[in-house]
Structure 1
Amino acid sequence: MSPIAVEIVVPAFNEAERLPAGLELLCRRLERLPARAAVLVVDNASSDATAEIVRQWPGGPVEVRLIHCAKRGKGAAVRAGILSSRAGIVGFCDADMATDPAVLDTVLQMMRVHPVIIGSRTHLGSRVEARHSRTRSGGALLFRRIAGRLVPGVGDTQCGFKFFHGDLARQAARRQRSNGFAFDVELLARCVRMGAAPVEVPVTWNDVPGSKFSVLRHGLPVIAELARIWFLLRRTPAVRAVPSASAAEIALIRPAA
């Protein structure tokens, strides 16, 4: 069989309700790719049936693997998944598939040229259905302004749909120290410091009920996390060498004839 060309990390903390529908949607999309793909579901110390759902997932053309991450936090789970990957192209998305995975075709084609492609809800071409409160919308605006200082030129660091050349993602994840909701900012900032500027693409995004983020509970800790990321980046020397996608990787993501 041909090697796996694309691996997608799905962090999951108590996602027994939303995971089955999300996995089915993602696997159906991955089956249509011209290259082999796998899904790495990272069980982030769930107390529900999340892990059992993955263990019993029926076999098919898309391999679904279970990875355990005892350290709490979405950032810790994504980092564990990326570091468990081996493919030339590595990405991650949320278990609820709030971002329509149909954009995968566009993302993978663009990865022939760009090492970091991220979904963006602020892109002019995006279609966004959001049901957030004014408090959460205001908090998101403040977050974007602060994050923009750490990752200049990126309008949406938090859309849960990001893809990288595999070696680059693994190098950035090894240096990543943030485990909470702001981990995306650090991961992208480390890619930028290696010379790989993220390119944003429009997405179709639907607000799916069940988000675990609360402005009241997590607002101040997230701001503190951004400050810590800023401090960490200042103490870390920039690494300018960026691994390029190999000819084999590019061949694997060419469109089917």
Structure 2
Amino acid sequence: MSIKITIVLPTYNEAENIPLIIEELGKVMDSLGHEWEVVVVDDNSPDGTAEVARELSSKYPVKVIVRAGRMGLTSAIHAGVINAQGNLIIVMDADLQHPPSTIPLLVEKSSECDIVIASRYVKGGKTTGFPLIRKITSLGAIILTRILISKARNVKDPVSGFFLVKRNIVKNWEPVEPYGYKALTEILATSDNARICEVPFEFKARTKGSSKLSFRIILAHIKTLMKLNPFGFTLLAVGCAGILVILLYIIYFIIS
């Protein structure tokens, strides 16, 4: 049975990478034999990403959506989702850190799950080429997410940017934090009775362009968690503040 698959690629300044990722997608998707499309959601990249993507539409099934400016990764993914024609929607980055070769495994697992996550932290998954601080930041985000989002507690990588979701799971999804950067966290939190699987992949450092990770992105994820679970976030903040006060008292008495 033919399954139409939509691949959503949110982009900003990826003119160098977009031809490479779409060429790789073409090879993988043709081998799968399913009808497919790519929806590129570009935030008006000054490097001409949208124009490069449009040129590729003569050879590949590429649709390009250009937005007015940088409006947040989560809202870009949402724009791709609502413009998708497929009943299976794959979200991934356009910077080649998410290997298209993982897509067949995502599609295969969709026969038993509604959300299939490409995970760095299940057996066989790994992260290579990143500094220690980046790895610590990622693990911190995962711990916070698993604490505050009940539906993410059994998920090893609830902040992955590479995942497959069935259309019926996201048909009514509206971002709680459009300027956020972890759409999967929102989808997990708001999906009802979704069956969730994880498959391994190797997350590599990008070779072209610059990383989008910044302190702003970290704050955006914290804001997303706060909106998804305000009561739990408040309890956690109060608890952490209490622990800090106790530690300060202990240090004071030790040195006084």
TM-score greater than 0.5 by the shorter chain: yes
Q: Give 3-state SS (helix, strand or coil) of 2:52's partner.
A: helix
Match for 2:38: what amino acid? V
Shift in Å, 1:177: 2.1
> In the TM superposition, what are the counterparts of 1:32-71 in structure 2 within 5 Å?
32-60=31-59, 62-70=60-68
Q: Which deviates more, 152-161 or 88-97?
A: 152-161
Matched-pair contact (CA < 8 Å) for 1:6–1:87: yes
Residue 185 (structure 1) aligns with? 185
Aligned residues: CA RMSD: 2.3
Distance 2:217 2:87 in 1: 34
C-alpha separation between the residues in 1 aligned to 2:35 and 2:232?
Answer: 36
Q: Which moved more, 1:225-234 or 1:77-86?
A: 225-234
Within-5 A mapping of 1:1-257:
5-60=4-59, 62-70=60-68, 72-132=71-131, 134-149=132-147, 150=149, 151-171=152-172, 173=173, 175-179=174-178, 180-191=180-191, 194-209=192-207, 210-214=210-214, 216-231=215-230
How far does residue 14 in structure 1 lie from its aligned partner after superposition? 1.6
Identity of aligned residues (%): 26
For 1:37 and 1:169, the matched residues in 2 are separated by 18
Tell me the distance in 2 between the aligned counterparts of 1:42 and 1:72.
11
Residue 229 of structure 2 aligns to a residue whose secondary structure is: helix
- Give the 3-state SS of the residue equivalent to 1:156 in structure 2: coil
**Which range is displaced more, 156-165 or 117-126?**
156-165
Q: More helix by proportion, 1 or 2? A: 2
Unaligned runs of 5+ in 1: 235-257
- Is the Cα contact below 8 Å between 2:89 and 2:166 reproduced in 1? yes
Q: Structure 1, residues 74-125: CA drift from partner, whole Å, max 9, x if none?
A: 1010000001112111111100121221121121121112111010000111
Distance change >3 Å, CA 122–CA 3, structure 1 → 2: closer
In structure 2, the residue corresponding to 1:28 is in which secondary structure? helix
3-state secondary structure, aligned to 1:163: strand
Say whether the 8 Å CA contact 2:115–2:164 is kept in structure 1.
Answer: yes
Deviation at 1:13, TM superposition (A): 1.2
**Per-residue deviation, 1:217:** 4.1
Q: What is the number of equivalent residue pairs in this alignment?
A: 226
Deviation at 1:127, TM superposition (A): 4.0
TM-aligned CA deviation for residue 15 of structure 1: 1.3
Say if 1:16 and 1:50, in contact at 8 Å, map to a contact too.
yes
* Structure with larger Rg: 2
Query: C-alpha distance in 1, partners of 2:161/2:36?
Result: 19
Alpha-carbon distance, 1:4 to partner: 6.6
After TM superposition, the runs of 4+ consecutive aligned structure 1 residues lying more than 3 A away are 231-234
- The one-character-per-residue Cα deviations of 1:126-165 (angstroms, maximum 9, x if unpaired) are 1431322x33222222111111121211111222211111
Is the contact made by 1:182 and 1:226 (CA closer than 8 Å) also made in structure 2? Answer: no
CA distance in 1, matches of 2:231, 2:19: 37
What displacement does 1:232 show? Answer: 10
The CA deviation at 1:25 is 1.3
Q: Secondary structure at the match of 2:117?
A: strand
